[in-house]
Amino acid sequence: MAEIETPAGVANELRDALRSVLGDAGVVSDPALLAARSGDWSEATKMPPALVLLPRTPQQVADVLALCARHRQRIVVQGGLTGLAGGATPAPAEVALSLARLDRIEDIDAVGGTATVQAGVVLEELQARVESQDWYFPLDLGARGSCQVGGNAATNAGGNRVIRYGTMRELVQGIEVALPDGRLLTMMNRVTKNTTGVDLKHLFIGAEGTLGVITRLVLKLSPRPTASSAALCALPSFEAATRLVRDMRRALPGLSAFEVMWSDFMEAAQEIGGLRPAFAEASPVYALVETQGARQEEDRDQLERFLGEALEAGSVSDVVVAQSQGDAHRLWAYRETIGEMLGQLKPHAAFDVGVPMAAMDSFVRTVRDALQSRFPAQRHLFFGHIGDGNLHVLSGPHGSAESLHRVEQLVYEAVGAVGGSISAEHGIGVVKKEFLHFTRSDAELELMRSLKALLDPAGILNTGRVFAPTTSV
């Protein structure tokens, strides 16, 4: 963690006004508490905020924004602080607006399958509450125990099950947003289909808090799956993986995960995670697949039959189908050693890029060759949610900030060359800002800046995240 700097002060007049809106308990200046809000899970330089504000209602959020706009006081919005792009890490002299006390699950509609929640609800808590009513909130990611649904929406979070259920954007039906001018925009739509002009919620989903603060959400639920089957497939080539995912989506519409691991990842998983090889022979590519449904045996038989035929046809080289929950955990363990790998390969460069499927194979070869020739002593691991064209690359350990930067430059240039995305699910924040031009054109950045100027003319809200506020900055 980088050194913690001393925060700049906040004008007394503003501080008093904030206290009158939030009460004394809602305006925190205790240095230990400020230090605890000095950064997210990224490598961005930590810095405590000048104050932490803890509103308890959406209206208080709006009031705080109006006050800060009047005083030109910059704000950083903070959810569970699990972001990987530094978006919630304070910049000098910013106050932190925490959603932690907006933590109420207001309603679960068990007929229509929607949950109405405040933005500060922790993802895992929502998942549990919804499942207790026989519904399911399919968004799932490693940070589930700390991340908040408001942050999930602001960053358009993804995860393992996007192939079936979509990203957070597809799961948000209604939204409430506090705008930087102090207005509260309430659009708590509870119907799936609503074609009545510009769908304004998309201005805020994925915008990483640059245009407004999400205060409440209506989330779309799915019926809770009561059965789940998993299998690990060894594949003769990446091309075989692209055919397999297409054929599985057609034949097994319950397909809920399709995770690809290249051989370098699998070897590292076995070594670092202390796991036994799943197959007698190594393969160039592996796919971990999962289906969700309602009939355990029937669903597993269906998966087994499908993969048996694929094996006979030679489109799969070998396969292990989980016969129990324990088996399934053992198969997922290869993929989940990523936590240990991230720890062991520090300092590392970790990527979350989008690459068109048709370009994926040559992308991986080109980038792997380039990394291996320039950094022969390091590990370079490739894996990802390939059903969504989402590739993760982990490269490390690297001795210097300079070589980390060279790795980043190399990977993002290659992404730009294939028309991919420099961030499939983690967002831009501050750490990927300098690479944004590889994915977004000047015209797009200009339009984002116009939207920022329209909605946040005082430039107080998460300013400097994602894109520079003006072309000259």
- Can you tell me which of 72, 295, 329, 374 binds a copy of itself, judged by CB under 8 A? 295
Alpha carbon distance 88, 41 (integer Å): 9
N- to C-terminal Cα separation, the chain: 27
How many residues at the interface with a copy of itself, by CB under 8 A? 92
Q: Does a cis peptide bond (omega within 30 degrees of 0) precede residue 397? A: yes
Distance CA 131, CA 110 (A): 11
Q: Which is nearer to a copy of itself, 225 or 273 (CB)?
A: 225
Q: Which stretch binds a copy of itself (CB under 8 A): 46-54, 75-83, 156-164, 315-323?
A: 156-164
State in angstroms the smallest separation of the CB of 375 from a copy of itself.
26
Residue-wise over 103-139: b if at least 16 C-beta within 10 A, else e? Answer: beeeebeeeebbbbbbbbbbbebbbebbeeeebbbbb
Q: Does 450 bind a copy of itself (CB under 8 A)?
A: yes
Determine how many CB atoms are found less than 10 A away from the CB of residue 463.
Answer: 20
* Shortest reach from residue 208's CB to a copy of itself, in Å: 7
One of 74, 144, 164, 380 touching a copy of itself (CB under 8 A): 164
Is there binding between residue 283 and a copy of itself (CB under 8 A)? no
* Closest to 153 (Cα-Cα) out of 229, 112, 212, 90: 212
Compute CA 287 distance to the chain's CA centroid, rounded to the nearest angstrom: 21
Per-position b or e across 190-200, b if 16+ CB within 10 A of its CB: eeeeeeeeeee
Binding mask 195-224 for a copy of itself (x = CB under 8 A): xxxxxx-xx-xxxx-xx----------xxx
250 binds a copy of itself (CB under 8 A): yes
Q: Which residue in the block uniquely carries the two structure tokens 């989506």?
A: 249
CA separation, residue 54 to residues 29, 93, 133, 212 (Å): 11, 17, 30, 17
Residue 167 as a binder of a copy of itself (CB under 8 A): the answer is yes
**Interface with a copy of itself, residue 181, by CB under 8 A:** no
* 229 scored as a contact of a copy of itself (CB under 8 A): no
Site map (CB under 8 A) of a copy of itself, residues 25-64, x = contact: ----------------------------------------
Instruction: For residue 53, give the H/E element and its range.
Output: strand 52-53
Q: Where are the alpha helices (DSSP H) in 71-120?
A: none
Q: Is 185 in the site for a copy of itself (CB under 8 A)?
A: yes
Nearer to a copy of itself, 109 or 318 (CB): 109
**Interaction of residue 354 with a copy of itself, rule CB under 8 A:** yes
Identify the CA nearest to 217 among candidates 255, 184, 189.
189
**Please, which residue, 207 or 394, has the CB nearer to a copy of itself?**
207
Indicate whether 105 belongs to the interface with a copy of itself (CB under 8 A): no
Determine the interface stretch with a copy of itself among 9-17, 89-97, 392-400, 435-443 (rule: CB under 8 A).
435-443
In the region spanning residues 77 to 96, those forming contacts with a copy of itself, defined by CB under 8 A, are none
CB of 449 to a copy of itself, least distance (A): 10
Q: Closest separation between CB of residue 393 and a copy of itself, Å?
A: 15
Q: How far apart are alpha carbons 160 and 158 in whole angstroms? A: 7
467 binds a copy of itself per the rule CB under 8 A: yes
One-letter amino acid identity for 72?
Answer: R
Query: Considering the rule CB under 8 A, would residue 175 count as an interface residue with a copy of itself?
Result: no
User: If binding is defined by CB under 8 A, does position 400 make contact with a copy of itself?
Assistant: no
**Among candidate residues 412, 387, 360, 445, the one with its CA nearest the CA of residue 158:** 387
**Lookup: tokens for 438:** 């590889």
Q: Using the rule CB under 8 A, which residue among 14, 451, 458, 468 binds a copy of itself?
A: 451
The piece of 24-32, 67-75, 164-172, 258-266 that touches a copy of itself (CB under 8 A) is 164-172
Contact flag: residue 430 with a copy of itself (CB under 8 A): no
